[in-house]
Amino acid sequence: MAVIFLLIVILQVLAGYFCAKVVQSLTKKTWLGVLAMFFTLVPAVSIYLKKSLANYEWFTNGFCYLGYIYLGFILYFPIYCVAVFVFHKFCKKIKLKKLLSAGFVLIPIFLFFGYLNAINPRLKTLNIKGNSDLKICFVSDIHVGCINTKHILNRVADCINRANPDIVIFGGDVLDIEALKVYEETFVNIMHDKITSKYDTYTVIGNHEIYAGVEDCIRLLKKAGMKVLIDKVVDVKGFNIVGRLDQTVRQRKSLSQIISGNEKNMIVVDHTPSSIDESAGRNALLHLSGHTHAGQTFPMNFVVDYLFGSTGNLRKVKNTYAYITNGAGFWGPPYRIGNIPEVVLVKISQKN
The pLDDT of residue 55 is above 60: no
The sheet that has 266-269: what strands, in order across it?
A: 232-236, 239-243, 266-269, 286-289, 320-324, 315-317
Across 71-87, average pLDDT: 87
Query: Per-residue pLDDT averaged across 168-188, rounded?
Result: 83
Q: From CA 349, how far away is CA 130, in angstroms rounded?
A: 6
Highest mean pLDDT among 45-59, 171-185, 223-237: 223-237
pLDDT, tens digit (0-9, with 9 covering 90-100), for 254-281: 898 988 776 778 999 999 998 999 999 9
Asked whether residue 126 carries a pLDDT value surpassing 50, the answer given is yes
pLDDT in tens, 29-49: 887 777 777 777 776 666 566
Residue 77 has pLDDT above 80, yes or no: yes
Q: Which CATH architecture has domain 122-350?
A: 4-Layer Sandwich (3.60)
> What pLDDT, on the 0 to 100 scale, is given for residue 75?
85
Using the predicted structure, report yes or no on whether residue 92 has a pLDDT greater than 50.
yes
Residues 6+ apart with CB under 8 A from 241: 167, 169, 202, 229, 233, 234, 235, 267, 269
Give mean pLDDT, residues 305-322.
91
Does residue 87 carry a pLDDT above 90?
A: no
Q: Could you tell me how far CA 44 lies from the centroid of its own chain?
A: 19
For residue 351, how many other CB atoms are within 10 A of its CB?
7
Q: How many separate helices (H) and strands (E) can be counted in the chain?
A: 11, 12
Q: What is the pLDDT of residues 197-255, one digit of tens each?
A: 888 899 999 999 998 888 999 999 999 999 999 999 999 998 999 999 999 888 889 89
How much is the pLDDT for 1? Answer: 46
pLDDT for 233 equals 93
Question: What's the pLDDT at 4?
Answer: 53
Q: What is the pLDDT of residues 99-120, one digit of tens each?
A: 888 888 999 999 999 999 999 9
When pLDDT is cut at 50, 70 and 90, the band that residue 185 belongs to is confident
Determine the pLDDT at residue 314.
94
- The upper half-sphere exposure of residue 135, i.e. CA atoms within 13 Å in the direction of its Cβ, equals 15
Judging by beta carbons within 10 Å of its beta carbon (0-12, 13-18, 19+), is residue 146 exposed, middle or buried? buried
pLDDT at position 7 is 66
User: Taking each helix axis from N to C terminus, what angle separates 96-118 and 57-90, rounded to the nearest 10 degrees?
Assistant: 130
Backbone torsions φ then ψ of 272, nearest 5 degrees:
-85, 130
How far is C-alpha 47 from the chain's CA centre? 19
Q: Is the dihedral of CA 273, 277, 278, 280 positive or negative?
A: positive
- pLDDT for res 299: 86
Q: Which of 330, 323, 329 minimizes the C-alpha distance to 345?
A: 323
Q: Output the pLDDT for position 8.
A: 63
Of the two residues 63 and 126, the one the predictor is more confident about is 126
Query: Taking the domains of the chain in order of start, what are their residue ranges?
Result: 2-118, 122-350
